[in-house]
Chain A
Amino acid sequence: MTAAAEPLAVDAETRSSSGAGWAAFRAMLLRDFTILDKRLPQFLAGTIMQPLMLVFVLTNVFPRIGQAIGGGDGASRFSSLLLAGVVAQTIIFSGIFIVGTEMVRELGVTGEMEDRLLAPAPIALVAIEKILSGALHALFGTMVVFPIAALVPATPVYLDVQPVVLLTLTPLACITASALGLTMGTRFSPDTASYLFGVVALPLSFLGAIFYTWPSLDPVPLLKYGLLANPLVYVSEGFRAALVPSEPHLSLLVIYPAMIAFTVVFTLLGIRGLRRRVVT
């Protein structure tokens, strides 16, 4: 220790709580993106692999080996439908695996969230920062996955992009997914985190109207209406409305309110979950 070090004066002054809180909020975002920058290759690999494999096998390999879903023109239609579902799945998975597993690790294994929890901000703001940060990560991941889902299929993908829907739905879906991830991340412990994939992600995905449209489930009404409890259904259907609007899909009048409602509920559950985990 250097003798010349300036004595640490005791600083009795405190800044306004809201000012201090927002400064901490911005710094936490900066921290998250510093880490994204460091771990970019891992992030990209983790984000791209699942949709790439899905799109590659279902829309590139299958048509070539005569196993095309839908057959003939149907293959092309399926590729277009699947693109919307894959983008939706990428976003939801980003939320669960990036925000969720990170929360499980930081809260349960390393305790490294401590410094942010002791920053001069309410716990709710720390939770909201995590949601925003996760949403921005998901948005970035979506932008990478989009061209893959459009270019990988062997058959042409016909898109009729609805810019207003796409530009409003994408950020909303990212926030919904991130809030879902926070809720999951605060409820799963490191011991149970391995169930996140099997128990949460897998059913959400297969029952998330990724490989089929929601209206096409008419023959199985029980399943059709049961699926409305799955937030991924609204995201998948929303992307169909944004990218292939001519296909039958859930009404946007249902999609937007449902996604907003899911976002609010997951945000509140996430804040409550974080508070429960870190404040006794």
Chain B
Amino acid sequence: MPLPLHVSQPNGGRLGVCQLATQVASLMNLMGTSLRAEVSAAPVADHLPWGGAATEDGVSPDPAFDAVVTTRSLRKVYANGRVAVEDLDLQVRRGEIFGLLGPNGAGKSTTVGMLTTRIIPTSGTAIVNGIDIAAKPAQAKQVLGVVSQANTLDQGLNVWENLYFHGRYFGLADKPARAVSDELLDRFRLGDRKTAEVGSLSGGMARRLMVARALLHRPAVIFLDEPTAALDPQSRIALWEILIELQGEGQTVLVTTHRMEEADEHCDRLGIMDHGRILAVGTPRQLKSSLGSGAAVTVRAENRLENLAAYLGRAPAVTEIRVVEEEVRFCLPTTAGALQWVLAAAQVGGYQLTDLSVTDETLETVFVSLTGKELRE
């Protein structure tokens, strides 16, 4: 039987048969050696348990972990008996962009509400910059910056006045408040709308102004609740540019979102939440590889599928291997080199592949696998 190889890659790349043959030849002798090492060993470092650096009690054993937000067994039960947040242990490192991901009703907003003094925890503690929020809410507000999902700009004040009075609320004298308001308007590209009514701003401008306002008093951490919801793509990009620039200046950012691609691209670490609990914490890469499925591989072969599965399954990097509907499916920790490795392995083992596909494990698959597929209203 000839080799009608059809090899697809997730990025649209397709290898021709000749090209493939060359690659296979060059990779033949690598089977079980360097490539296997690359596939299996390199990501092992990423195979940290759920929770990343945090231990079970949520306290990092790493002294270098400078937490600006720490919650311990934080719990919120509403008056109607609904448990919105259950035993939440969370740490946000100083200077990072931390994303809280979860479906509707997961408890993200309740968590942010508790961290920003607006929701009183039923039990547990939340510390921001060393201040116990429930015990000293007024003091804690000095170190919090909040950008809520709704437009909460002061409609009675113009664009500049929204910043100026925010500065005054936070104790700035007239002159410094004026100076910093001018500076922030320029910085957030709102200088030409200085005297405009806030009602006349576009969604993106209003959100930028809210971010500028939240930053004005130099909070230890800025909370953004679904900041890019209802924004057009340009405004979303502009907002993330701002957040990344702020992070570059040492600003800690906590953002809630259910936009997987944004979380994946921009957040240093993510916490996936559902039913009031944190299900997983880690870098996007850790989360994607911690399912043991950085790459999802599907192989078709002429015959002996069970043998092929058993053969491939001996490689330590291969996980979750199974034969389903004339296919062998398994996971590799990473897509890098996966294609070549599988081809080489098959050649060495004497298996003739008829089809091979390698797809990226996306944050979305991780998310769905953790939170389920049922619709949340």
Contact = CB atoms under 8 A, between A and B. Distances in A.
Contacts of A14: 129, 131, 139, 142-143
Contact of A110 (B139, B155, B168): B155
A119 interface: yes
B156 A35 contact: yes
Nearest to A125: B138
Nearest to B177: A27
A280 interface: yes
A17 B156 contact: no
Interface stretch (A18-26, A88-96, A139-147): A18-26
A122 B118 contact: no
B165 A280 contact: no
Interface stretch (B242-250, B282-290, B326-334): B242-250
A79 B265 CA distance: 74
Interface string A5-32: 1111111101101011101101110110
Contact-residue bracket for chain B: 35 or more
Nearest to A31: B165
For the residues of A in contact with B, the DSSP-based class is loop
Interface string B206-223: 000000010101111000
B111 to A, nearest CB: 13
Contacts of A38: 156
Contacts of B144: 118
A17 B220 contact: no
A7 B142 CA distance: 19
Interface string B238-260: 00011001100111100000000
B59 interface: no
Interface in B196-232: 213, 215, 217-220
A17 B169 contact: no
A8 B168 contact: no
A7 B169 contact: no
Interface stretch (B22-30, B183-191, B368-376): B183-191
A23 B218 contact: no
A155 B94 CA distance: 74
Contact of A120 (B152, B171, B213): B171
Given A14-B131, A28-B169, A280-B113, A20 B213 contact: no
A247 interface: no
Given A8-B215, A10-B251, A280-B120, A30 B142 contact: no
CB-based closest 3 A-B pairs? A27-B168, A114-B152, A119-B169
Interface of B: 78, 94, 113, 116-120, 129-131, 136-139, 141-144, 146, 148, 150-157, 161-162, 165-166, 168-171, 183, 186-189, 213, 215, 217-220, 241-242, 245-246, 249-252
Given A7-B250, A115-B169, 12 more contacts: A2-B187, A8-B218, A20-B138, A27-B168, A34-B161, A112-B156, A119-B141, A119-B166, A119-B169, A120-B169, A122-B137, A279-B119
